[in-house]
């Protein structure tokens, strides 16, 4: 059993020790710890490859760190890591292995599921992705009228959208000449209309991503795009302008897609972990297979770091333990991720799914209801934009919000002083969150600004900041395909470690299904083919009102 010795996480000895220790750490000032220990930044930093993670601006000391590592040991983390990498079925509710790591297994060492090595099949599909992506980019795979396909549209939802969209945007500097990428995910017709309005049918390739080829949002959008194409170019155009990422060959063929252009992926890869698979086809077309492969290389490097490094020098492990520290011992329910790189705009949205769909669970691996907080709420956005939105709350809100600041030392667009100003801002934010500003310091600033005594007395509290607010600073050289692979794999493994500590299954997503099931019942009621009785009075009244307004 992939459980914590049949013991609830919060009953463990290490957990109890951390609860007691946290009470002593609540009023400890980080600034004082820096003053007492000049080597603090060095002690609490990890360097790996082209990445440095500075976690020194956290409310931890040597004892905290030791206790957190003890928690990981008590949860048998190293054993759980090996179980995942060796193909054991650690997704217990669906009886599946969890092998997104196999998709970027550059060593090509065998990984077995039910006695079968999965690597030959993975390599076959990767070879197919390479061949097809190059054919599109070179104009060898042409549209119905013989024109090169330069507008690539990914139709998917959830993991079939967020990962590829985040990665293609992150690597936009590497897009092939003339190629444009678009994403349709929302069932709202506006999502389809706004993309189709920009396109020329003769130069458009659609990638329909649905494992079962039955996902209602994806198939509804795909059928709308199909009609748009057929109206312009005729029925035979479907086979020239649509490909599928799926496992359902029958439904793919019924749609009109040539099954030779169907790219498979597997049950041991969850949707939110699937951008490394054929779900990443649009990435390979956009940036070229060489760059797609570099992204896999970066992820593999982080996999090996995660699998082999001691916990104290293991980036995903340390970041996960810090998350647990604040979430469970300080009662902090939020975590902000702020990349200071415009190309990483979609990273926080991607991480929302990765973290909250994975760890938003209330039943543990022993089939017991947990009595402690699991997933924090993840939010964020690109700096410096978000400095003018939610940073007010981060600096002066009533509770603190741990932050991850992600910084590339070199920009893809070194224009004047732009990047130096950007870097100055992010470093200032992390320092300001830690240092804050006392009421006395605020008063002195106001006095220096020429304010009267009454004005100073009135304004000094408003101008003060409590500080002592934690953050991690993640510095990379540049956001290229390799670095992006490392970064995403880092967060994948961090999420896994959190799940191990909380003793939950991070790889199912039962909570996604309930709303879908109920929507299928409500749909015919909205369309008028079925009576709306059987609902609560609110839902029934809303259905009836909407029907009336739509007549």
Q: Which of 169, 264, 357, 492 is catalytic?
A: 357
Return the axis-axis angle of helices 13-25 and 315-329, rounded to nearest 10°: 70
Distance between the two ends of the chain, CA-based, in angstroms? 55
3-class SS letters over 372-433: CCCCCEEEECCCCHHHHCCHHHHHHCCCCCCEEEEEECCCCCCCCCHHHHHHHHHHHHHHHH
CA dihedral 427, 429, 435, 438 (to 10 degrees): 140
User: What is the rounded CA–CA span in Å between residue 14 and residue 9?
Assistant: 9
Asked whether the beta carbons of 346 and 162 are under 8 A apart, the reply is yes
- Output the six-digit token pair for 418: 């732009």
Is 94 catalytic? The answer is no
Strands 204-209 and 334-339: unpaired
Beta strands in 80-120 (DSSP E): 112-113, 116-117
- For residues 356 and 159, give the distance between their C-alpha atoms in angstroms, rounded to a whole number: 13
What DSSP designation does 325 have? Answer: H
Cα distance between residue 176 and residue 329, in whole Å: 48
Spell out a b/e string for 115-149, using b for 16 or more CB atoms within 10 Å of the CB, else e: eeebbeebeebbebbbebbbebbeeebbbbeeebb
The burial of 234, by beta-carbon neighbours within 10 Å (0-12 exposed, 13-18 middle, 19 or more buried), is given as: exposed
HEC readout, 306-333: HHHCCHHHCHHHHHHHHHHHHHHHCCCC
Residues contacting residue 327 through CB under 8 Å, at least 6 positions apart: 333, 335, 373, 376
| Sign of the torsion angle spanned by Cα atoms 125, 229, 203, 159 | negative
Look up the pTM and report it.
Answer: 0.96
Strands (E), 274-360: 334-339
Q: Is 198 a catalytic residue?
A: no
The edge-to-edge listing of strands for the beta sheet with 204-209 is: 180-184, 151-155, 204-209, 242-245, 262-263
Annotated catalytic residue, options 23, 36, 388, 548: 388
Pair 407, 474: CB distance under 8 Å: yes
Q: What is the pLDDT of residue 57?
A: 98
The β-bridge partners of 475 are 52, 407
**The pair of three-digit structure tokens given for residue 60, joined into one six-digit string:** 């931890």
Which residues lie closer than 8 Å to 193 by C-beta, 6 or more apart? none
Longest CA–CA span in the chain (Å) reads 81
> For residue 252, how many C-alpha atoms fall within 13 Å in the half-sphere facing its CB?
23
* Nearest-angstrom CA–CA distance, 343 and 406: 12
Nearest to 322 by CA among 310, 309, 306, 311: 311
> Is 106 among the residues known to form the active site?
no
Write the pLDDT tens digit of every residue in 254-293: 999 999 999 999 999 999 999 999 999 999 999 999 999 9
Could you tell me the two tokens for 486? 């490392």
Q: Is the dihedral of CA 387, 390, 396, 399 positive or negative?
A: negative
Position 6 scores a pLDDT of 55
d(C-alpha 57, C-alpha 93), whole Å: 38
From 43, 254, 516, 530, the catalytic residue:
516
Tokens for 499?
Answer: 């799940």
Q: Count the neighbouring beta carbons within 10 Å of the beta carbon of residue 60.
A: 24
Q: Give me the pLDDT at residue 514, please.
A: 85
Mean pLDDT by 10 residues, the chain (551 residues): 60 94 96 96 97 98 98 97 97 96 97 96 97 98 98 97 98 97 97 98 98 93 98 98 96 96 94 96 98 98 98 98 98 97 98 98 96 97 97 96 98 97 97 97 97 97 97 98 98 98 96 86 90 91 94 85
Map 143-195 to HEC letters.
Answer: CCCCCECCEEEEECCCHHHHHHHHHHHHCHHHCCCCCEEEEECCCCHHHHHHH
- DSSP H/E element including 32: helix 30-36
DSSP for residue 480: -
């Amino acid at each position: 059993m992939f459980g914590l010795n049949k013991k609830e996480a919060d009953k463990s000895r290490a957990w109890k020790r951390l609860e007691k220790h946290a009470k002593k750490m609540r009023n400890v000032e980080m600034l004082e710890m820096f003053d007492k220990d000049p080597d603090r930044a060095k002690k609490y930093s990890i360097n790996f490859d082209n990445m440095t993670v500075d976690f020194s601006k956290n409310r931890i000391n040597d004892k905290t760190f030791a206790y957190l590592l003890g928690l990981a040991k008590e949860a048998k983390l190293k054993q759980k890591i090996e179980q995942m990498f060796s193909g054991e079925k650690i997704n217990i509710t669906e009886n599946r292995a969890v092998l997104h790591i196999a998709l970027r297994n550059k060593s090509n060492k065998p990984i077995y599921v039910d006695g079968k090595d999965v690597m030959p099949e993975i390599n076959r599909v990767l070879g197919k992705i390479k061949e097809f992506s190059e054919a599109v980019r070179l104009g060898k795979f042409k549209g119905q009228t013989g024109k090169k396909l330069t507008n690539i549209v990914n139709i998917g939802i959830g993991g079939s959208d967020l990962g590829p969209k985040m990665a293609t945007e992150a690597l936009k500097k590497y897009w092939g000449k003339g190629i444009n990428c678009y994403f349709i995910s929302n069932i709202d017709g506006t999502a389809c209309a706004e993309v189709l309005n920009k396109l020329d049918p003769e130069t458009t390739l659609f990638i329909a991503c649905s494992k079962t080829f039955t996902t209602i949002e994806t198939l509804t959008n795909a059928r709308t795009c199909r009609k748009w194409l057929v109206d312009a170019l005729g029925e035979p155009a479907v086979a020239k302008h649509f490909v599928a990422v799926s496992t359902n060959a029958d439904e793919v063929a019924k749609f009109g897609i040539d099954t030779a252009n169907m790219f498979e992926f597997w049950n041991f890869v969850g949707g939110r972990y699937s951008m490394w698979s054929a779900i990443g086809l649009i990435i390979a077309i956009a940036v070229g297979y060489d760059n797609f492969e570099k992204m896999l290389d970066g992820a593999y490097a982080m996999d090996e770091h995660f699998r082999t490094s001691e916990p104290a020098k293991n980036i995903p492990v340390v970041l996960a333990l810090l998350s647990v520290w604040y979430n469970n011992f300080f009662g902090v329910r939020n975590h902000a991720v702020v990349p200071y790189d415009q190309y990483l705009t979609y990273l926080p949205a991607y991480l929302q799914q990765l973290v909250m769909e994975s760890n938003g669970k209330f039943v543990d691996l022993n089939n017991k209801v947990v009595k402690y907080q699991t997933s924090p709420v993840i939010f964020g956005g690109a700096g410096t934009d978000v400095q003018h939105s939610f940073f007010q709350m981060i600096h002066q809100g009533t509770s603190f919000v741990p932050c991850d600041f992600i910084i590339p030392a070199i920009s893809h667009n070194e224009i004047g002083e732009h990047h130096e100003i950007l870097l100055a801002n992010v470093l200032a934010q992390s320092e300001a969150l830690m240092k804050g500003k006392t009421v006395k310091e605020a008063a002195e600033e106001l006095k220096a600004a020429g304010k009267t005594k009454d004005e100073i007395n009135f304004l000094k509290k408003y101008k003060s900041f409590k500080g002592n607010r934690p953050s991690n600073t993640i510095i990379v050289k540049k956001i290229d395909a390799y670095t992006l692979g490392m970064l995403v794999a880092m967060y994948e493994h961090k999420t896994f470690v959190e799940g191990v500590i909380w003793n939950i299954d991070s790889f199912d997503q039962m909570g996604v299904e309930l709303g879908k099931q109920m929507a299928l019942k409500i749909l015919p009621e909205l369309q008028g083919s079925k009576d709306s009785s059987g609902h609560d009075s609110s839902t029934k009244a809303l259905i009836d009102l909407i029907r009336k307004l739509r007549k």
